[in-house]
A and B are shown apart, each in its own frame.
Chain A
Amino acid sequence: MNNIIIGQYIPGTSYLYKLDPRSKILSLVLLMVATFVLDTMTGMLIFLGAMVILLLSGKISITRVLNGLKPIFVLLMFTFTFQALFVTTGTLYIDEILHFNYYTITASLLVFLTWFFSKKYIKYSILYFLLMIVSIILVLIYLPQGTDFASTPLQIYQGGVEGALFIMMRLIIIVTLSTILTLTTKPTDLTLGLEKLLKPLKIIKISSEEIALIISIALRYIPTLLDEANKIMLAQASRGVDFKEGKLKDKIVQIVSLLVPMFIISFKRSDELANAMEARNFVPGQRRTRLHVLLWHKLDSYTVLLSSLVFVFVIVITVIR
């Protein structure tokens, strides 16, 4: 649970922290749309480079952001594999045959087992996993052949590889952008910025204050709930619930024994919170002053201006092509 860093603020002092949340949110939206629209490889590479510069100049540790990418790693692998295997445009890069016979299958199994038993000693688990996959593919292609009892062609085209790289880069850029926003902006500032930006929705009778309130309460309680879940699991474990093991039937009981107390505690908490807010005369949507007032600086104007320029530029280029 600890490596989900989307939505986690880490204190710092660089210029990214000094920016107003409104300008950060606006720029994020503009740049995200631009990333979606962008359809040239050079453009993507430039964006990726800009992203690295942004991280370096903003003194954000790149390993942190990479860690943030971990949860979507599986998704990345999937899109990459599917794109690479099933797109058949452009020149043929790789044209080999995967042989399945006793030699290759035994060898692959050996590779797999080596990986399986040594993986806990290796630090870069993802790279190690990739190495395992690549070695198995190499084994299937090149090992001295007996009689195959099955074989499939492995054909990879230029279009497939490019498409796969393209989608990967797009995903990486988008996740990095949102990670930068959430790493450098306190959740409270984020919701305040959102509240201000959504003000115009009043015309269609949607109160941005209430939305912001709901979001900030939800954000406030996520860590609390995680903590609570942890404590409940311990309490049930001491009554003999083994959350790591058990058949399907046991699993259901385990989950019920976790969820029921979670719900009860959450309802109780929300009740208490509502009472506490009412006791302090809180009325949603009422005008009130703020302890922290958002300040718009010159830097914010420049940031939004720059993002808008990038946005317009990308749109124009794409339309012209």
Chain B
Amino acid sequence: MAIKFKRVNYIYQGMDGTPFRALKDINLTIEEKGEFITLIGETGSGKSTLVQHMNALIKPTSGQVEIYGIKIEETKKKSSKIKLNPLRQKIGLVFQFPDYQLFEETVERDIMFGPMNFGISKEEAKKRAKEVIQLVGLETGYLERSPFNLSGGEKKRVSIAGILAMEPDILVLDEPTSGLDPKGRDELLELFLSIHNKLNNTVLIITHDMNTVYQYASRVLVMNDGNLVFDGKPIDLFASPKLSSWNLDKPDLIDLCDKLSERLNITFENYPKDLEKVVARIKAGYHE
């Protein structure tokens, strides 16, 4: 087990001193291998706060996060001697907004920044930059461009490339597909899936898109008002009666299947994962 949350609470101190409980008693375990997790929940439910605990960017106000055996907790002593940087290399976190991290003159140097901070040589970092820029679907010509003149989607890809170049064991992405066109979104999701398949590494994606959850995830976490309210298989989530009370809805395919069985009495034994199967079932039903 790579990451373990034990009764984690997190309280934001607002500017005017009013406390805000962003995480409430979170218990959670994430394995190093074999999981493709999606984290969903309405805006402001604490998703970003939760993932920032996973590479020790913020420390729990109470409770404990254990990352690769290293216990992270709120200590009164300021001089805790734990080295956090190795953890941040192992667990790569891509932030929600690329503007927060791009700062170098060229895209290439920005991608090299992360690996070089973790002691990778310049040549090796250059090599990785060239690889990952193609992985995220940009041509190598982009390496020479300034990161500030890129479009929102391109910036997003560069910021993802910057983390991929660190070659983390676990990849955590905060809304990696927001602001991308449908084709770009699917390409990136396929990329994450292929990384996951190739090395069997765990990938965690925050998303607002139920289709992503349904199509890709092996496990889904649901946040609601600072609580972790669901942790299990996507298929069980979408069968849950509480779904709408968490302000979530069903993926298009499940919606379609439900409507079909409701209106046309075409029933499904278990929900199919692609449209072709639905079509086939309808055809079969039509001939009956």
Contact = CB atoms under 8 A, between A and B. Distances in A.
B13 A239 contact: no
A234 B53 CA distance: 11
Contacts of B84: 242
Contact of A242 (B16, B58, B85, B103): B85
A220 to B, nearest CB: 12
B85 A232 contact: no
B283 interface: no
A238 B95 CA distance: 9
B77 interface: yes
Interface residues of A, number: 27
Nearest to A10: B16
Contacts of B52: 234
Contact of B114 (A120, A239, A242, A265): A239
B186 interface: no
B78 A236 contact: no
Contact of A232 (B92, B101, B117): B101
A238 B78 contact: no
B118 interface: yes
Given A237-B88, A239-B166, A260 B118 contact: no
Interface string B165-193: 01000000000000000000000000000
A242 B93 CA distance: 15
A2 B12 CA distance: 12
B101 A239 contact: yes
A226 B100 CA distance: 13
Contacts of A238: 55, 57, 88, 92-93, 95, 163
Contacts of A2: 13, 17
A261 B117 contact: no
Contacts of A260: 103
Contact of A241 (B58, B77, B95, B117): B117
Contacts of A234: 52, 57-58, 95, 100
A293 to B, nearest CB: 25
Given A238-B95, A239-B117, A239-B163, A261 B100 contact: yes
Interface in B59-81: 76-78
B204 interface: no
A263 to B, nearest CB: 9
A8 B58 contact: no
B99 interface: yes
B113 A235 contact: no
B100 A257 contact: no
B14 to A, nearest CB: 9
Interface of A: 2, 8-10, 120, 223, 226-228, 231-232, 234-242, 256-257, 260-261, 264-265, 268
Given A231-B95, A235-B95, A239-B117, 12 more contacts: A120-B76, A231-B97, A232-B100, A239-B114, A239-B163, A239-B166, A240-B89, A240-B166, A256-B103, A257-B103, A257-B113, A261-B99
13 contacts: A8-B15, A231-B100, A236-B101, A237-B57, A237-B88, A238-B55, A238-B92, A238-B95, A239-B163, A241-B117, A257-B113, A264-B103, A265-B99
Interface of B: 13, 15-17, 52, 55, 57-58, 76-78, 84-85, 88-89, 92-93, 95, 97, 99-103, 113-114, 117-118, 148, 162-163, 166
